[in-house]
Structure 1
């Protein structure tokens, strides 16, 4: 017993010590990684960037071919409209992007280390210099947010690897770092079959680039092995990479590019020389780590230098293909399928049409399989992870529907933020700050078999970092936006600051209260009078009225008639200043309250004082069977986001509301709060639901 207590105390001390150490050193990762200004600017502006390794400079070629090749590769990348980011370690810091002088230094140096994952801690701790391998470059690229990395060839399982266990760290890195690696496959001095088997075990998606599935063998277009898949062009490759990133997988993608046809003949001669060198090494009894250097040296001798020329040509081709893929990926991510594909220049991008300020959550949704969940015991069900947060959901929805959106939020510097930001690559997240020593917000929802929320738990402290001081950095964008959306997770001070700006500059503001407790935030001051729209449910609407010291029912009504009357009555006083109140009624539908116009409510932002009568228009929800419901956490946000998109596109009220109802239904069918299949075409009422819609019901409000 004493020993057990002592062990617990020691464990507690160790945990406390580690926590203090991590808090004290959490800044070190940023200090040890240095991103070149040109790369940093390209990433901030969502322009394509390609990562390049440096062991080809430090260990792969003799001087001066190594320097000229490195500069030629960077020039090829730039010619494709992409920013090159050569990665290396200089004086104990990982550099992502090198200057011309730094490239020259690496090419001439004879004391650099070959830096893989294993070597990074030592080389950095000693302040040394090194060229990064595929593994080392992948880590740096992922840290910087670069999704595409171009190299010559990757390492693999060595011949006799089943006995020696000589397996390249490149393969395990591909299994745990979500980067797309563009290479010419694997050299035939390695065991290509076992290499592909190992990649399968690591969960790495492998595809040959081109019409064939045959896996290339570096100098040769063909090996005796095939890839599981192939992609025909840069568009298909970008689609594959985007799918991987959107899923939040922690494994990478390997794209194997065959050597160009014009170099294939020389490549075949080199392959013959490789086989001769392999045989010679075996006859001479050369084993282990000495095999590869011996074979490469002999191949260069046997081919009279032709292998070096083919190597350079192959790397040039990979750089060209990889840059085209990176450029296509950037275009696809910034303009997802179904969204706006018009060119956006840098000035336009700096002044987004809509700004969303709110929270990001990593959601864990647990759905029971029985009609009643029993407390105090394990219930059968399913658990899935998705990425939510009201602000993130609305920004996601608007982005997928073709709107230019700047999303202002905060996350921790942890694995959750890596996953959620990868998932949000189609969004403009340059205003999402990563906070060292903080946790990304997480939310766990337990829902019944019918899809109703039974219990929710949230770790949301990070949302307090979306404060006035941080938000004020985007004052220019806030004052010129067509619409600003606030979610109730952000601090009251931020809401007050944004509302004061909006009132001064006549910017419409939409407030999404997120829950009943947070619905009061703009109403504790005069800030609510600067709002144009709000989208509460009935409980949140009650809170708003209570905060204004207005009468509210003690018990919420249940019948449809009473619900509509209650919602209209509670919305009436808010409409003295707000333009529109959209009351979400869950499975019952939505009640839109505001100024009457042409038989319905006017949703267009108005600059004049209200002149017409007030009315409330009820739209029933679309029918859906409870067993079809997968996730209820994003339906309301999908409704609001799609309605916003309709308003911004100048659509009539009926179309806006029906777009919202269709988006909400799609959300219910998806494990994600905002379904990745959401597009404008998918929610246009006349296309998706051509049959007559239920006629909305109009209720007049007292003046």
Structure 2
């Protein structure tokens, strides 16, 4: 808990900067909505391409960076790196060049990142396993060796690693004890290394003996078991076996994984004969270079780059040409193996598929965020001159299970709607605590994925002394890990009646949900979550425009700030332009003309408290969205609820005379059905009993979708009444969802 107290001063500063959010200045908030396109997870940075591939279980090939900085000069190193990455892509896999940039582990580099390393050359630290912690702690830039790359690739979930050649036992190693860390890494890390064997400057015979001692499976790819010598296809030594086909290589890796041997595999790929350097020329160059090592005092990790450069100089570039050729060949073979392995599956049963097969069928799926909530509530100000800013202040700090999707799911669970939550947490203390917390109250956790090398989401809120939110910091990057493929499997497996999703998930995931639910006639429900996240549903213009005809998005529950922000964003995309003929046609069918305006004026005259609906533009914003979204339920905070529906059929049994509801209905023009607006007054609450705003809106949504599941949509008015009561219960609780919510509340 002390960690969160230490961030308090910084949060007060953010409060001062974000006060405008509280005053409805949504344009200012939009400045804070920039997404992290690189996929930052703590000290790890995944490129968008690699992140998407790992989430979708596409084949990924790791590439080392030492070969860029210490293997060849600029610009050949940069050009080769780009070419190798393209070869990997062309053969059906995604390249993930691994390096450390400014103390951050990068899994996948942009073109600019590759060029930065290429130009640094030997100024970049050469990073093996032993150097990882030091390089990161000092914020240095480093190029990873075979051992360093393997260690990172394994933790990133990458099974295949392509390089030029591995290190080994140096000549006279029995006396110097100079043995590359690559060999011990292969003995303890279950990553397959595809390479052109061992560099010919080393003692190949002793290297193969050492690999046997480490329990490493060694095989030559092709028709022969001849073990290659980097620049040449034959070293004079044999591998224990040879694998003639790509599929046999993938099958070997699959078997190694299923046996849980936890050791690596070395697949040696001989350089093509037409690209090989003359063996005698290379041998003579190596012998000549070795004589200079002792005289120059070169030792340790500096020996290999020195020898490679010296051999290249002696052979007048022919060895470098062969070096580049063999790397390209290895990339082609390694990528094909990775693709085949993905088709076989990393193991006989993918863990996610097992979870889905075991999951009980649920009619209600909730897809979204689960987080640890840290809520800080300030004590009342004792002096008018006292300021909370730039100092520590007394208050109450509460840690609770949170996250919009999780809060909605907990509410639905307590109301006996049998929800299944699909979400993601990190493999850390917060993630373990969240899962245990959900299990403790009986929630189904089969849909919660534990993601390696990512941290659990944190929502850190500051409340004023009266429980009103002043500002909050939300670290939610992990939810990009909720993949479209995983969501599709859960929907197809459960065949739910309703799928609810929040704004934390990716645009691609939202698109998948709407597409599959539209095809299967499944109702959908979108909770926008926050102003910045509410924009996501609008970003795919083809998707949103299709809603005019499909109405694939059945329900949406924005608050007034989210609605306003979405409205102006939609205007920017041209969704409300009059030359958008289909939208204008649908709007015209709603028959919202002069009579509507007259009815509004009449109702406001009778109920002056509703003037804000007109003055704040809320009615106009809702009307413009109705052709796209048939059921818009606006959370007005302390002012109640506004519901707008574009109905195919107008029922005669609407409850129009209840005191806490104000309603007007407009028949469609020349068609069945019509538009229905209904206002629900707020439930009054003593301000002293208002403890916490976080989670109240989520509780409302959880109760609403539960009511829609357990009762027909014709009872939506009564369900909204209950949902308001449930939200008020959470307002009076220190938890994100009130502990007093129970299934008896949904008895109509």
Normalising by structure 1, report the TM-score. 0.47
Normalising by structure 2, report the TM-score. 0.45
Q: Which has the higher contact order (CA 8 A, sep 6+)?
A: 2
Q: Which has the larger radius of gyration?
A: 2
